[in-house]
Amino acid sequence: MQWLDIGANLIHRSFDADREQVIARAREAGVDTIIVTGADLPSSRAAEQLARAHPGNLFATAGVHPHHAESLAPSMLEDLRLLLEQPHVVAVGECGLDYYRDLAPRAAQRRAFESQLRLAAESGRPVFLHQRDAHADFLAVLRDFIRELTGAVAHCFTAGASELDDYLELGLSIGITGWFCDERRGAHLQELVARIPVQRLMLETDAPYLLPRDLKPKPHAHRNEPLYLPHIGAAVARARDESVQFCASHTTAHARAFFGLDRIHAGGGEQTQE
């Protein structure tokens, strides 16, 4: 079985000492494709460089998380646009709204979100979306752009039935993380995940965050890694009453199509290095 992790923060400092080993362990576990998340301009550049060093196996996103929304100046948008010209940079984001932590003013978050949605429409890249405690504003902004986008995925979905219905109605794909494996916070997802169509479901670790709570034994470092994606996938498969093999197959196939990975591979552009 092959799995695809649509969101891993491999640029995080917790991976500085063993990043290559983390990637190798993931491949040994069957996670041979990882999309490395960019959260600001420096991490987006680093994600692009890491993807360039692992052609065909690693890809990257480029964007600005709502926590960093105030930093998104016009010059940075140009830098992001240049990154998106690289074929192995496959999505805009992580972008969206976060009213839970409110680390940036909400007006600045909305402006940054709109700017990145516009950039996604111009570049023809899908968007990798973040939303926390901002559902109404998030939907209002997204509805203005959705027809111009090639695709959108709600990263790390943890919300309820009404939010899921809104996202599916709008045509979003849904990313499920190890939050699903937390009996304290993720129990409601057991029922909801069965309602996600096979052509809309994707899996992610959000490593190093959201280590599956039910892992036994617990890793010594208490750090999440892409190698645990099959554990998440097996839990999702049980809740959907489908085989693990089928879950791996349809989530990977959908992710590859959504991010255009087979088109990139056929073009051969990601194989070149500067």
Encode pLDDT of 24-39 as tens digits: 999 999 999 999 999 9
How confident is the model at residue 270, as a pLDDT?
A: 41
Question: What would you report as the CA-atom Rg of the chain, rounded to the nearest whole angstrom?
Answer: 17
CA dist., res. 57 & res. 265, Å (int)? 10
Does 94 have pLDDT greater than 70? yes
Hey, where are the domains in the chain?
Answer: 3-271
Buried b (16+ CB within 10 A) or exposed e, 208-222: bbbbbeeeeeeeeee
Does 268 have pLDDT greater than 70? no
Does 274 have pLDDT greater than 70? no
Mean per-residue pLDDT for 153-181? 98
How confident is the model at residue 264, as a pLDDT?
A: 77
* SS3 (DSSP) at 31: strand
202, β-bridge pairs: 175
Fold of 3-271: TIM Barrel (3.20.20)
How confident is the model at residue 265, as a pLDDT?
A: 59
CA dist., res. 37 & res. 39, Å (int)? 6
Task: Summarize pLDDT for 48-92 with one digit per residue, the tens.
Answer: 999 999 999 999 999 999 999 999 999 999 999 999 999 999 999
Does 95 have pLDDT greater than 50? yes
CA angle 128, 131, 135 (to 5 degrees): 130
Task: Summarize pLDDT for 102-149 with one digit per residue, the tens.
Answer: 999 999 999 999 999 999 999 999 999 999 999 999 999 999 999 999
Does 273 have pLDDT greater than 50? no
Does 266 have pLDDT greater than 80? no
- Confidence category of residue 259, pLDDT binned at 50, 70, 90: very high
| Average pLDDT along the chain | 95
CA angle 86, 89, 94 (to 5 degrees): 140
Mean per-residue pLDDT for 236-246? 98
